[in-house]
Amino acid sequence: MKDFLKTDIFLKIAVITGLAVLFIILFTSIEEKDSPIDTYTQTETKLISMISLLCKDDSPKVMIKTDKDGVTVIGVGIVTESANNPVIKEKILELTSKILDVSSARICITI
């Protein structure tokens, strides 16, 4: 057994096994980040729930359009029956602008 531990084959096996363990540890410790698309889908869902609280008994639809990079917001479209009320429409505009950090000129709220 002592002779086997001193051979080149054992050394190669030990090195390969050690490298394999290091790669496994490295790749399992890396956490995957949410893609921008997933992030904005989650944000759309949050916006819908917040707007629903403002609108009461309304089910708004929200769409966030991003640039090719997936991070920069180009525009936001919101469809809700409560857009008839100018006070609620203004609150939705402010809410959306603050949450997404977007100019109100990039937000369209319609019926």
pLDDT the model gives residue 79: 92
Higher pLDDT, 35 or 65: 65
pLDDT the model gives residue 110: 92
The fold of 36-110 is: GMP Synthetase; Chain A, domain 3 (3.30.300)
State pLDDT tens for residues 68-110.
Answer: 887 889 999 999 988 899 999 999 999 999 999 999 999 999 9
Burial class (CB in 10 A: 0-12, 13-18, 19+), 64: buried
Please give the structure tokens belonging to residue 36: 């921008």
State pLDDT tens for residues 48-67.
Answer: 988 988 887 678 999 999 88
pTM comes to 0.65
